[in-house]
Amino acid sequence: MKVSGILAAAACLTSIASAAPLELWGHHGQSNNLVKGKSFDRFLFVVFENAGYNQVIVDPNFAGLTDRPDARLLTNLYAVGKPSLPNYFATIAGSTFGVRDDAEHNLGGMTIVDLLEAKGVSWKELPLCSQGTCYLGATDVYANGTAVKSSYRRVDNPFVSFINLQNNPNRCDKIVNAKEFEQDIANGTLPQFIYYIPNLKNNAHDTSVAYGGNYVKTFWNKYLHDKALMKNTLAFFTFDEDEDTEHNHIFGALIGGAVSVKPGSPKNVTDNTPYTLFSMPKTIEDNWNLGSLGTNDTFATPFKL
Catalytically active residues are 206
Question: Contact, 249 vs 52, CB < 8 A?
Answer: yes
Please check whether residue 84 is in contact with residue 281, taking contact to mean a CB–CB distance below 8 angstroms: no
- Strands 193-197, 123-127: pairing is parallel
Residues 6+ apart with CB under 8 A from 181: 126, 190, 194, 196
Contacts of 203 (CB under 8 A, 6+ apart): 47, 48, 49, 156, 197, 212
CA 279 to each of CA 139, 260, 296: distance values in angstroms, whole numbers, following the listed order:
29, 18, 9
Cβ distance 94 to 81 under 8 Å?
no
Cα distances (angstroms) measured from residue 302 to each of 31, 232, 299 = 26, 17, 9
Between CA 296 and CA 32 the distance in angstroms is 32
Contacts of 52 by beta carbon, 8 Å cutoff, 6+ apart: 239, 242, 243, 244, 245, 248, 249, 250, 251
